Amino acid sequence: MEVQNRVSAERVFPCGKILALIYHIYARMTATSHAFLLLPAPIEGTMAPADEKAGSASLKKSPSVSDVKAEVVVVSGPKDGLKRQMKNRHIAMISIGGVIGTGLFLGTATALETGGPVGMLLAYIVVGSLCYAVMISLGEMAAFLPIPGGHLTFAGRFFDPALSFTLGWLYWYNWTIILPAELSAASVVISYWNKTINSAAWIAMCLAVVLIINAFGAGAYGEAEFIFASIKVITITGLLILGLVLDLGGGPKHDRIGFRYWKNPGPFVQLDNIGGVKGRFLGWSAVMSQAAFSFIGTEVVAIAGAEVKNPRRNIPKAIRNVYIRLLLFYIGGVIMIGLLVPSNDPRLNIADGTAAASPFVIAINNAGIKVLPSIINAAILTSAWSAANSDLYSSSRALYGLALNGKAPSIFLKLTPHGLPWVSVATCSCFAFLAFMGVSSGSGKVFGWFANMTAVAGLSSWFGIAITYIRFYRGLKAQGINRNTLPYKSPLQPFAGWYAAVGCFVVALFSGWSVFLKGHWRADTFITNYLPMMLFPVLYVGAKLWTRVPLIPYTEMDFKSGLQEVLDASTEETPPRNWIERIWRKIM
């Protein structure tokens, strides 16, 4: 696929001069063929020639995946494609701790202040269950076809091109917006130690590190995330143990807290002093978007599917590890926070722009432990750095997937010899400069804005994943493919898919409901909660009117294109040689 010239590049990108210079360096790179998936229908609504032959008719005899293998279609794509550089331990650790970030370490301050300990816990349980339903649905599709674009590609293959277009740009927007949010959070965290240096310096420093890591491709990203995620997993595990000790009176002050703060100031918070059940319900519903912000990003495992070694083994294993993150880290974390910190503590106000707003730091300070707050703050900084690293990776791969499927200019397909989509990475990096808004408005406040916008957009993406899976499930039935032959068969289906679809819509709808009450209008709350939600119908209806392509019939869904490349990437792993390797294999 031939890349556009430099003049076209300058028109497409907001930082044309910079990209034109980079383009000049790689100007001699040409495109060749590769066995990667192209969507059966680009945005114009026409079916790719290969797919017309392979996917226009139903499989007359296809009781299992093995029957599909015989009819694999190889589709040409850009250059040498993305490289499978991520190892088992990379994807395993990314799935468990890769996107544990400021949503848990810092954002829970707002959740506790808004909903109270029980309100926060219930919100995280509900959103956590939605996350699990989405992940097992996505995991079944991604394990079967771990291809570039993840669920963005699945939507075009199993639903229609308009949904693929919508989810693609919405997902790209989601990860592009969350990147400056994490950089703003990193600036807030660093100011805990030094408030004399302008926050712009810290933002620039963090951004530089993220750019360097992503510039070295998926292998470097996997190694960095393995290290970052390991630190975060160790930190949150240590905090859970420490929190239990402090709650039972094992701290320096020997103060047995128990459930004291669930009684006073109480289990729930009346939002904006609205009395009765209404105030408690609104407080709880307001926490839902904050909880969603914490969970958004779990689907990065599927996005990374095209760059994972032995994907048919490692993707299902990573999906099965999701429950560890949901139950142990998030649910356990919010329980401990609700026990140790009262919801009316003034230090929970994250808009003040101080890292002491982290409930974990507040709890340790209350216990009278002097050195540990700085150590925990360093871990929080690591989490923000790691999350920003994942944000740039995900946004650039989403943009690459859009271009691969004809939904974005083909220049975004440009790769380095090592398989790095450098144009996509460079473009997404430009939006990170939005983090510098925090220099004047306050990094804590900017973090809150971006967090709301990210949460609602993420819920919209989850909704799209759920409805895509529902049609995938029905397509398998229509073509007689036995789900028992898939690399990963998710439980509770199709009920989990329906639960995720309905639940995500309801949570997004009530995320900022309090602004519609008399005397509680807030323009920033309305814009950050409902503007991203409006993007979904606008993009979908617009794309639908443009393409005028109906939903893909179940009997014409393509379960074959790109499968050969996946099968070629699957290898038999050598058995463990000793008990140490057996334990490591079990963990990873």
Confidence category of residue 232, pLDDT binned at 50, 70, 90: confident
Which pLDDT score, from 0 to 100, does residue 150 have? 76
Contact (Cβ atoms closer than 8 angstroms) between residue 341 and residue 366: yes
Q: Per the omega criterion (within 30 degrees of 0), is the bond before 491 cis?
A: no
> Which is higher by pLDDT, 48 or 173?
173
Contact (Cβ atoms closer than 8 angstroms) between residue 144 and residue 476: no
Q: Which of 419, 391, 427 is nearest to 174 (CA)?
A: 391
Q: What's the rounded Cα separation, in Å, for the pair 101 and 379? A: 10
Which pLDDT score, from 0 to 100, does residue 300 have? 67
Query: Is 1 contained in some domain?
Result: no
106-127 residues labelled b (16+ CB within 10 A) or e (exposed) = bbbbbbbbbbbbbbbbbbbbbb
Q: What's the rounded Cα separation, in Å, for the pair 149 and 399? A: 8
Which domain does 465 fall in, by range? 31-587
Distances, alpha carbon 366 to alpha carbons 246, 254, 382, in Å:
10, 12, 23
> Which is higher by pLDDT, 151 or 578?
151
Show Cβ contacts of residue 561 under 8 Å, excluding neighbours closer than 6 positions.
Answer: 37, 38, 40, 50, 51, 54, 55, 72, 73, 74, 75, 157
Q: Give me the CATH number covering residue 362.
A: 1.20.1740.10
Start-end of H helices in 248-308: 260-263, 276-295, 300-303
Least confident of 204-213, 240-249, 456-465: 204-213
Tens digit of each residue's pLDDT (9 = 90 or more) over 262-309:
998 989 988 777 778 888 888 888 888 888 888 887 776 666 555 566
Query: Is 9 contained in some domain?
Result: no
For residue 346, the 8-state DSSP code is G
Tens digit of each residue's pLDDT (9 = 90 or more) over 38-56:
333 333 333 333 333 333 3
Q: What's the rounded Cα separation, in Å, for the pair 555 and 480? A: 10
What's the one-letter identity of residue 469? Answer: Y
Q: What's the rounded Cα separation, in Å, for the pair 321 and 329? A: 12
Which pLDDT score, from 0 to 100, does residue 303 have? 60
Confidence category of residue 216, pLDDT binned at 50, 70, 90: confident
Average pLDDT of 148-158? 82
Query: Is 347 contained in some domain?
Result: yes
Query: Is 368 contained in some domain?
Result: yes
Query: Is 18 contained in some domain?
Result: no
Q: What's the rounded Cα separation, in Å, for the pair 3 and 455? A: 35
For the chain, how many residues are written? Answer: 588
**In the chain, pLDDT over 90 holds for what percent of residues?**
16
What's the one-letter identity of residue 502? Answer: V
Q: How many CB atoms lie within 10 A of CB 440?
A: 9
Distances, alpha carbon 109 to alpha carbons 158, 341, 351, 493, in Å:
40, 9, 10, 35
Query: Is 19 contained in some domain?
Result: no
Tens digit of each residue's pLDDT (9 = 90 or more) over 96-107:
655 577 778 888
Show Cβ contacts of residue 435 under 8 Å, excluding neighbours closer than 6 positions.
Answer: 179, 180, 181, 183, 184, 187, 203, 207, 443, 446
Tens digit of each residue's pLDDT (9 = 90 or more) over 355-407:
456 888 889 888 888 888 888 888 888 888 878 887 888 788 878 878 887 88
Tens digit of each residue's pLDDT (9 = 90 or more) over 472-502:
999 999 999 889 888 888 888 999 999 999 9
Q: At what angle do helices 108-144 and 495-509 cross, to 10 degrees?
A: 150
Q: Which of 202, 203, 179, 189 is nearest to 453 (CA)?
A: 179
For residue 576, the 8-state DSSP code is P
How many domains is the chain built from? 1
Tens digit of each residue's pLDDT (9 = 90 or more) over 396-436:
887 887 888 788 888 998 888 877 888 988 999 888 888 88
Which pLDDT score, from 0 to 100, does residue 201 have? 83
Least confident of 33-37, 106-110, 162-166: 33-37
Average pLDDT of 554-578? 70
Q: What's the rounded Cα separation, in Å, for the pair 383 and 2? A: 39
Structure tokens at 401: 């997937």
Which pLDDT score, from 0 to 100, does residue 52 have? 37
Average pLDDT of 319-323? 68
Query: Is 23 contained in some domain?
Result: no
Distances, alpha carbon 158 to alpha carbons 225, 315, 343, 468, 485, in Å:
31, 20, 45, 6, 19
Least confident of 8-22, 277-291, 307-321: 8-22
Confidence category of residue 574, pLDDT binned at 50, 70, 90: low
Q: What's the rounded Cα separation, in Å, for the pair 223 and 8? A: 35
Tens digit of each residue's pLDDT (9 = 90 or more) over 44-91:
333 333 333 333 333 333 344 434 433 333 333 444 454 544 455 545
Q: Per the omega criterion (within 30 degrees of 0), is the bond before 78 cis?
A: no
Indicate the average pLDDT of the chain: 75
Query: Is 62 contained in some domain?
Result: yes
